[in-house]
A = this chain, B = another copy of it.
Amino acid sequence: MQRHSSLDDAADLAAVAALLQIGAEIGVDRLLDSGDTFSAAELARIADLPQAGVDDYLAALVAAGLVVGTEAPGRFQAAEDYPDRRYAAGYLSWAMSANGPFLANAREFLADRDAAARVHRRNGRRVAVSSRWIGERAFYPPIVDRVVSAGASHVADLGAGAGGLLVRLLGQDPARTGVALDSSGAACAAAREAAAAAGVDDRLQVVERTVQSLADDPGPVEGANAVLACFVMHDIVADASVAKAVLGACRDALAPGGFMAVADAVSYAPDPVERRFSALFTYLHASFMSVTLPSERHWLDTFQAAGFSKTECVPLGVPGGRLFVADR
């Protein structure tokens, strides 16, 4: 085999992403992600599918080196490099699978964005799974570091989705409490389940509300030491008055010494390492989702206008991503 390494990478990445996407579709992504050992029968039971079909899928995962046998006969587990490969696959899954309805209907979107957007919607689960694969490596760790080093005992997460970030934070400190806010009932249900499974449900309050509603009623974030928001604020900051109202309400509700940590994206980051993915991210938001991403300067000005005393901006692992830490 005499192939160039980065081109090998493309074939490898494509294969891994497609195989993991199949795992997500049949509902075995959580088991594979857990690193736990499993038998072929357990895999079929979790997928709720006939054994023969799941056996063939398992054989493909083993042939691809994504899953390996263990010392216990008939028991398997994800390979050691699985978390790295899953993170890389997250970008492909987000770009090609979660955004599949945009790509497949690009002609309609370029002809009439709003009409196309009413018809062709993304699958929420595919968006959530790919975002989790990217986020667990690219933006959860720096946020967790901030919360832990600040000793924040009460934490709210806006657009908390399935609650992964809060479950992780509550699991780390038995005295920490949290509020998961999300406008999706399905996401709230998933967050409740995840909290129960992790045994932290007595310390997590789940609130089905929009982020925008905090402008009128900041109750859910009242007294928080940290208010987090991962890739949800860009829906709000385009409108200066809405941004000022929502972020201002969060600031006023924070406990003394509290902070907001907002992981989000800037428009068209020019850095050579970031420019390609940032271009796709910016373009898809603008031309397919009617979301105009702010510049880094615009983000910083928005926090200042909302009354925050000081805002720090650091790059995230995801190209074009930034973590804004705004002090009350």
Contacting pair B53 A111 (CB below 8 A): yes
Contacting pair A92 B287 (CB below 8 A): no
Q: Chain B's nearest CB lies how many Å from the CB of A83?
A: 11
Report the separation of the CA atoms of residues A87 and B3 in the bound assembly, to the nearest whole angstrom. 12
Q: Chain B's nearest CB lies how many Å from the CB of A144?
A: 18
Contacting pair B64 A279 (CB below 8 A): yes
Stretch at the interface among A169-177, A221-229, A268-276: A268-276
Given the complex, which residues of B lie within 8 Å of A105, measured CB to CB?
Answer: 25
Partner of A87, one of B2, B7, B84, B94: B7
Report the separation of the CA atoms of residues A268 and B15 in the bound assembly, to the nearest whole angstrom. 13
Report the separation of the CA atoms of residues A111 and B64 in the bound assembly, to the nearest whole angstrom. 22
Given the complex, which residues of B lie within 8 Å of A189, measured CB to CB?
Answer: none
Contacting pair A12 B287 (CB below 8 A): no
Given the complex, which residues of B lie within 8 Å of A88, measured CB to CB?
Answer: 6-7, 9-10
Contacting pair A60 B15 (CB below 8 A): no
Report the separation of the CA atoms of residues A60 and B277 in the bound assembly, to the nearest whole angstrom. 10
Given contacts A25-B107, A106-B22, A276-B65, contact A287 B53 (CB under 8 A): yes
Given the complex, which residues of B lie within 8 Å of A12, measured CB to CB?
Answer: 276-277, 319
Nearest-neighbor residue (CB-CB) of A60 within chain B: B283
Contacting pair B100 A97 (CB below 8 A): yes
Contacting pair A14 B100 (CB below 8 A): no
Contacting pair B110 A57 (CB below 8 A): yes
Given the complex, which residues of B lie within 8 Å of A276, measured CB to CB?
Answer: 11-12, 15-16, 64-66
Contacting pair A10 B11 (CB below 8 A): no
Nearest-neighbor residue (CB-CB) of A287 within chain B: B56
Contacting pair A14 B280 (CB below 8 A): yes
Which A245-259 residues sit within 8 Å CB-CB of chain B? none
Contacting pair A14 B287 (CB below 8 A): no
Given the complex, which residues of B lie within 8 Å of A8, measured CB to CB?
Answer: 273, 319
Contacting pair A10 B89 (CB below 8 A): yes
A238 interface hit (Cβ, 8 Å): no
Report the separation of the CA atoms of residues A89 and B19 in the bound assembly, to the nearest whole angstrom. 17
Nearest-neighbor residue (CB-CB) of A105 within chain B: B25
Q: Chain B's nearest CB lies how many Å from the CB of A59?
A: 8
Contacting pair A14 B283 (CB below 8 A): no
Pairs A-B, 3 closest by C-beta atoms: A53-B110, A10-B88, A96-B96
